[in-house]
Amino acid sequence: MISREPTLERLGVAKSLLLTPFGLDESHLARALAEIKAHKVDEADLYFQYTRSEGWSLEEGIVKTGSFSIDQGVGVRAVSGEKTAFAYSDDISQASLLDAARTVRSISTVAQTGHLKVPRKKIASSRSLYNGLDPIASLDSTAKVRLLEKVEQLARAKDPRVAQVMAGLAAEYDVVLVARADGTLAADVRPLVRLSVTVIAEHKGRREVGSAGGGGRFGFAYFDDALIGQYVDEAVSAALTNLDARPAPAGEMTVVLGSGWPGILLHEAIGHGLEGDFNRKGSSAFSGRTGQRVAAKGVTVLDDGTIADRRGSLNVDDEGNASGRNVLIEDGILKGYIQDAMNARLMGVKPTGNGRRESYAHVPIPRMTNTYMLGGDKSPEEIVASIKKGLYATNFGGGQVDITSGKFVFSASQAYWVENGKIQYPVKGATLVGSGPEVLKRVSMIGNDMKLDSGVGTCGKEGQSVPVGVGQPTLRIDGLTVGGTA
């Protein structure tokens, strides 16, 4: 059997789902783009998408809900300067394409003169970071139910204080096709799965929650018995630990952040401030600071959409540009921002492969992929042992960030009080309050245990949600304000 090059293979899949069934081919796309370019615009593109998704959830020992959906459509965009005109439709047809094209070209009232040159067709360069399988078909329905029931049984067998178990299984098969006015064609076939476990433990009238889970761009075979057992152990352990938690102290103190998921603080408090749109408009705390020191020495932050199988990774972004490994901060010096095509053009730089959208019904904006800090040379044990009095936070829940000032408030879902280098007891109700740029300057120790999260992150911005990854090593931060309950 002769296989095609992966980029061409993905284009073939996208055409078979998004063009052929509707009587369309590349000539119809070229005509729609020509309609837009009849007026003077800087950029124009067509974004086709086919998404099939499935979800299962278990509660009280019963698989109570199962859902399945298919969504498809096309978004048509024209950009003139910093203005964007956008139209979308779930009707994929030549008529709807041309109608949308004539609508968005009105962003410019200036008609092109002379003969419009038809651009040469070019296939966008892309990566091969994950298998383009359909994850929904990688496990039958009976096996999915059994998987969730196994989670329930394992969790309840761990401890008699486990009062309730909730588990969820989700999968998505996403196919996109991008046609740009410069003749570029790009496609991606994106699988995505996730298993989530939530446990409620109860003792002497007190109830506490623990959660765990993970996933990525692969099939359900990833969730083998060992990994399912690990997620259950983590969720049960977190719930039982919180049963013994005492009220958190308050005040300014040394705080150590654990590796992995605590990188969500880095994502929110620093990552969003490094997105191109905020910096082009001058509304970020990092605006105009390229080449300046914005963090302590040793702090290197990347946004990397090129890590194989990761939840936040992309072969191409939603504008048809290959994803990239972008160094944002290097040894404390700001090197650049996360860019989509429009903001890159307006700022006079190249796109970084970060133009992302939730669906065909949304415009692309600069978004993170997998954002993380590189490791240092300290062991996590050495970092915890350095605390005279302070907090060791190993897991986080929700938070809020002001992009302009960089100020944030984050709640720790699992944390410990430390004295003289020894963990004393778990604490509950700790919130971290500070400024992203200031926190980076107060990093005094960086662990050698850099770890990415298990594959659970979803980022919201301007009403759009996209899958992302986060990560970091264990970090010591000096003089961070903790809002507690004690």
452: part of which helix (H) or strand (E)? strand 451-452
Confidence of residue 245 (pLDDT cuts 50, 70, 90): very high
Tell me which residue has tokens 């901060």. Answer: 329
Average pLDDT of the chain is: 95
pTM of the model: 0.95
Instruction: Give the per-residue pLDDT at 47.
Output: 98
User: Average pLDDT of 460-467?
Assistant: 96
The size of the chain, in residues, is 486
Q: What is the DSSP letter of 268?
A: I
Is residue 1's pLDDT more than 50? no
pLDDT per residue as tens digits for the range 177-223:
999 999 999 999 999 999 999 999 999 999 999 999 999 999 999 99
Q: Report the amino acid identity of residue 134.
A: D
Residue 4 pLDDT level (bands cut at 50, 70, 90): low
In angstroms and rounded to an integer, the radius of gyration of the C-alpha atoms of the chain is: 24
241 pLDDT higher than 50: yes
Residue 93, pLDDT score = 97
What pLDDT, in 10s, does the model give residues 410-437?
Answer: 999 999 999 999 999 999 999 999 999 8
Based on DSSP, count helices (H) and strands (E) in the chain, helices before strands. 10, 25
Helix (H, G, I), strand (E, B) or coil at 138: helix
Q: What is the DSSP string of 404-451?
A: TT-EEEEEEEEEEEEETTEEEEEEES-EEEEEHHHHHHTEEEEBS--E
